[in-house]
Amino acid sequence: MMRTFAILGVALLSASAPAPYMAGSVTGTITFTGTPPKMKPIDMAKEPSCAKQHATPIETENVVTGPNNALQYVVIYVSAGDQGSETPATPVHLDQKGCQYIPHVVVMHTAQSLEIANNDQTSHNIHPLPTKNPEWNKSQPPGSPPIVTKYENADFIPVKCNVHPWMHGYHIVLATSHFGVSGNDGTYTISGLPPGKYTLTAWHEKFGTMTQDVTVGAQPAKADFQFKATPY
Amino acid sequence: MRLFLIALVVAATTVQAQPSILGGTREDFRRYCAGCHGNAGDAQGENADWVDPKPRDFTLATFKCRSTPSGTLPTDDDLFHTIKRGLVNSNMPSWKPLPDETVMNLVAYIKTFSPRWKTEKAGTPIPVPPEIPVTADDILAGRALFQKMECWKCHGPEGRGNGPSASTLTDSKDQPIKPFNFAASSRFKCGTTNQDLYKIFLTGLDGTPMPSFADNFKGDDAWHLVHFLRTLQQAESPEKVVWTEWLSTHQGQLKPIGPEGQ
């Protein structure tokens, strides 16, 4: 009786679902083993307008860790098996505030608009160093409108400001809209994935990439990654 | 007739590597260029280790001296004039003695090293409007821009290349690089004229920390800055005459450029 009820329930559920598929998701936690490098406090004395925005000096963000060996700013994305994704019409935002890139790692789809704002009282120059897209370098004095740009090719692009040498970040350009970025607790979610088999790649700017196969069904799939940290 | 032939030769080498033409140009490239730039155009020539700044890596198709916006490919003319002129403060000499045909063919040859030339067109050259007359107000406006755009952070308050960020600068291959010292030279990276200097602000020098100001300059801004920068040089110039005269009657009226100059 119970079983019949359950089957009926499933049948009803699938009958009421209007979408051609039920979008699934992947969640997981990114951690590290070993000893990560110590992040260094940044001396912004040469830029007082930025220094005064930080009560205590902020640290470099090449390796940001959280509680329980969590690793932040890891980009996890579908690197194989993607059943198609479109370039979102909404732009991705990157802010320059307190002489920092916020967020440190910004992820976008190929050909998606990227809006870069300067909310500081000082000039910045945005200087991406791509390998699969043209290199450019533009000045953005305080009060300028946002720089709107895009990258045509998938790429992992280090970005710097030459005026403020501590400013360093990444523009990650993916050929998929199925990605997640780990937070300070190491967790990430990739949602909107149709059921199927996928390969996930996790990328960290210092510790490289790892891959893992995952099968997405009606339940959220789970894929944890553990990076090997080295102090240098 | 001769021009027509040259055009034909350039077109032919760009479109299709014709062995007879490219063969000769390859010889020229190996003879004149490969010592530094390498046979494969990858900046790994046998002299490259001893050269500072490093030779251009043609496989990246990133060029300093362009008439085109930052991030776009230069025109053939840009490359032609760079070869003919040479690059000041580097080991790239002027190749003026080479016949124009040879240099044109070398331009076509350089464009075989990066696939970007197959899929992208050169950028649209940024127009340089007619130069405005040099006046004290114009130079003062340029001085205000030098402060406001924070040129001094790299180039130094007196343009001597010793600003607070100068010692930290690296080029796109992580090699240390020095900002231009206006007091030490009258030749700029991409030419000697006011028009050449005007262009540098708007195009930036791709591959270096010098950004493009194309989105930030309005009206005659770039001319004001050109005229002010001429006053920082040792060489005599119409700008210096006007400026020296203005300074003689306005002593102590200017705030120094730098962090206190806001």
- Contact A162/B209, CB-based, under 8 Å? yes
**Is residue B214 scored above 60 in pLDDT?**
yes
Q: Would you identify the CATH topology of the domain A23-229? A: Immunoglobulin-like (2.60.40)
Q: What residues does each domain of chain A span?
A: 23-229
The verdict on B235 and B149 lying in the same domain is yes
pLDDT digits (tens, 9 = 90+) for B132-178: 999 999 999 999 999 999 999 999 999 999 999 999 999 999 999 99
**CA atoms in the 13 A half-sphere facing the CB of B15:** 6
Instruction: Tell whether B140 and B253 lie within a shared domain.
Output: yes
Cα–chain center distance at A230 = 22
Q: Residue B145 maps to which CATH number?
A: 1.10.760.10
B131 belongs to a structural domain: no
How many CB atoms neighbour CB A172 within 10 A? 21
pLDDT in tens, B14-55: 444 444 556 699 999 999 999 999 999 999 999 999 999 999
Among B119, B145, B167, the domain boundary falls at B119
Q: Which of B148, B168, B214 sits opposite A141 (nearest CB)?
A: B148
Determine, yes or no, domain membership for B130: no
What is the span of the domain harbouring residue B166? 136-261
pLDDT at position B233, please?
94
Distance to chain A for B5, nearest Cα, Å: 33
CB B65 within 8 A of CB B82: yes
Please indicate, yes or no, if residue B140 is contained in any of the structural domains.
Answer: yes
Per residue in A152-189, pLDDT tens? Answer: 999 999 999 999 999 999 999 999 999 999 999 999 99
Higher pLDDT, A168 or A12: A168
Looking at the domain assignment, is residue B246 inside a domain?
yes
d(CA A223, CA A116): 32
Nearest-Cα distance to chain A for B143, in Å, is 16
Do B206 and A137 lie within an 8 Å CB cutoff?
yes
* Interface predicted TM-score of the whole assembly (ipTM), two decimals: 0.85
CB atoms closer than 10 angstroms to residue B246: 17
Instruction: Say whether B213 and A139 touch across the interface (CB within 8 A).
Output: yes
The residue among A121, A137, A153, A164 with the most chain B CBs within 10 A of its CB, best to mutate, is A137
Helices B100-110, B19-32: axis angle to 10 degrees equals 90
Answer yes or no: do B177 and B108 share one domain. no
Q: Is residue B127 part of a domain?
A: no
CB atoms within 10 A of CB B158: 16
| Chain B interface residues (partner A, CB cutoff 8 A) | 60-62, 70-73, 116, 120, 148-150, 153-154, 164-165, 168-169, 172, 204, 206-216, 259
B125 in any annotated domain: no
Describe the crossing of helices B2-15 and B100-110 by its angle, rounded to 10 degrees. Answer: 20
Residue A192 has pLDDT above 50, yes or no: yes
Q: Nearest CB to A122: which of B70, B150, B204?
A: B150
Q: Note whether B116 and B41 are within 8 A (CB).
A: no
Lowest pLDDT segment from A105-114, B50-59, B178-187: B178-187
Cα–Cα dist A7/A15, whole Å: 12
Average pLDDT over residues A46-50: 94
- Which DSSP symbol is given to B254? S
> Which DSSP letter does residue B22 get?
H
pTM of the model: 0.86
Q: How confident is the model at residue A228 (pLDDT cuts 50, 70, 90)?
A: very high
Nearest CA in chain B to A122: B150
Domain-ending residue, one of B71, B91, B119: B119
CA gap B250, B252 in Å, rounded: 6
Q: Nearest-CA distance from A172 to chain B in Å?
A: 18
Question: What's the domain count of chain B?
Answer: 2
**Which structure tokens are listed for A146?**
């946002």
Give the CA count within 13 Å in the CB-facing half-sphere of A96. Answer: 34
Is residue B151 located within the same domain as residue B249? yes
- Which residues, listed in sequence order, are joined to residue A159 by a DSSP beta bridge? A128, A169
> Does residue B112 sit in the same domain as residue B161?
no
For residue B128, tell me if it sits in a domain. no
What tokens were used for B203?
Answer: 């195009």
Q: Which residue among A46, A48, A125 places its CB closest to the CB of B211?
A: A125
Using a 10 angstrom Cβ sphere, with 0-12 exposed, 13-18 middle and 19 or more buried, the burial of residue A15 is exposed
Q: Give residue B4's pLDDT.
A: 54
pLDDT at A198: 97
